[in-house]
Every structure is written in C-alpha cells, then in structure tokens.
C-alpha cells in the first residue's frame, strides 16, 4: 500500500500517523509489524512527539544547524544538505500492530520529513502478520 504526501515547504515535518493507521484498517491487519518506508533520497521518516508542535520546530532547527546549507559540497544538483539530513534521519520505521492499531506511545506520532520541498512524495506501508 502506498499513499502520497504533498509538502508545502523546503523543510517540514508532516504527521502521517492517521494515513498509516487508515491503511491498516483498509487491509484489515490486526496483528503484526508495520513498516513505513519513504522511497526518496531527500525525504525521510521518523517517530517523535506530536503533542507539542515546538518539538518538530526544534528537530528541524537542530538538523538545519548540524547540516549547513552552504559548505564545499560536491553534488552538482545543489541539494546535498537534504541528502545528508535524509541519511541522518533514515528511510524507514517499524511499528508493532495489535488489535488493528499501531502500537505507539501516548505522545508518539509518525512524521514524514521533507528536506527538499515542496514536492509530492510517496510513502509505502507494508505489514508482516
Ligand atoms: Zn541531489
């Protein structure tokens, strides 16, 4: 199962928990493991706090600080910081499924991480029962 995410900024976190949960419901998956995979080289996926949006801003502030926009990068496309941030964050997450629900902590949400937007992106969801 695959769904699209339309991003609206160059760097942005988007909560996709509800879309992932909806895919499980549509497939009738009750027990197992859910893999969320982002098939891009300048976008990623992570799990972190969804209650306070300031956490997302802080994550982006630190990532943008760690990976400067201007540096002696060699990649001619000019988006090396986005590639580096993607590798730091990672392309996939695994979440347990119990009773048809993602097993997440109270404050945990799944975030699509855009690092070279705005674009229309894809997210793959696969389940192992
Ligand atoms: Zn590139």
DSSP per residue, 70-109: SS----TTS-HHHHHHHHHH-SEEEEEEETTEE---TTEE
The answer to whether residue 117 scores a pLDDT higher than 90 is: yes
Q: Which residue has the higher pLDDT, 22 or 129?
A: 22
How far away, in angstroms, is 83 Cα from ligand 1 center?
Answer: 7
pLDDT tens digits, 34-53: 999 999 999 999 999 999 99
The answer to whether residue 118 scores a pLDDT higher than 90 is: yes
For 69, which DSSP code? Answer: S
Neighbours of 5 (CB within 10 A): 18
Over range 115-121, report the average pLDDT.
98
The answer to whether residue 32 scores a pLDDT higher than 90 is: yes
102 contacts: CB under 8 Å, gap ≥ 6: 17, 20, 21, 24, 34, 95, 96, 110
How far away, in angstroms, is 81 Cα from ligand 1 center?
Answer: 9
Does the pTM of the predicted model rise above 0.85?
yes
pLDDT for the residue numbered 36:
98
How far away, in angstroms, is 79 Cα from ligand 1 center?
Answer: 5
Query: What is the C-alpha to C-alpha distance for residues 41 and 97, in angstroms, rounded to an integer?
Result: 27
Containing structural domain, residue 104: 2-128
How far away, in angstroms, is 94 Cα from ligand 1 center?
Answer: 26
Strands laid side by side in the 92-98 sheet? 2-6, 120-128, 32-37, 92-98, 101-102
How far away, in angstroms, is 56 Cα from ligand 1 center?
Answer: 24
Tally of domains within the chain = 1
How far away, in angstroms, is 5 Cα from ligand 1 center?
Answer: 19
Q: What is the CATH number of the domain that holds 77?
A: 2.60.120.460
How far away, in angstroms, is 84 Cα from ligand 1 center?
Answer: 10
Q: Answer yes or no: are the C-beta atoms of 18 and 112 closer than 8 Å.
A: no
How far away, in angstroms, is 40 Cα from ligand 1 center?
Answer: 10
pLDDT tens digits, 53-87: 999 999 999 999 999 999 999 999 999 999 999 99
How far away, in angstroms, is 18 Cα from ligand 1 center?
Answer: 30
pLDDT for the residue numbered 128:
87
């Amino acid at each position: 199962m695959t769904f699209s995410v339309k991003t609206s900024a160059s760097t942005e976190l988007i909560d996709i928990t509800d879309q992932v949960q909806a895919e499980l419901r549509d497939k009738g998956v009750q027990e197992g493991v859910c893999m969320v995979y982002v098939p891009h080289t300048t976008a990623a996926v992570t799990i972190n706090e969804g209650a306070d949006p300031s956490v997302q801003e802080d994550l982006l502030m630190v990532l943008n600080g760690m990976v400067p926009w201007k540096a002696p990068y060699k990649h001619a496309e000019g988006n090396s910081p986005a590639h580096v941030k993607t590798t730091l964050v990672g392309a996939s997450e695994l979440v347990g499924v119990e009773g048809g629900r993602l097993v997440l902590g109270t404050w945990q949400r799944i975030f699509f991480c855009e690092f070279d937007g705005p674009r229309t992106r894809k997210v793959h969801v696969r389940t192992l029962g």
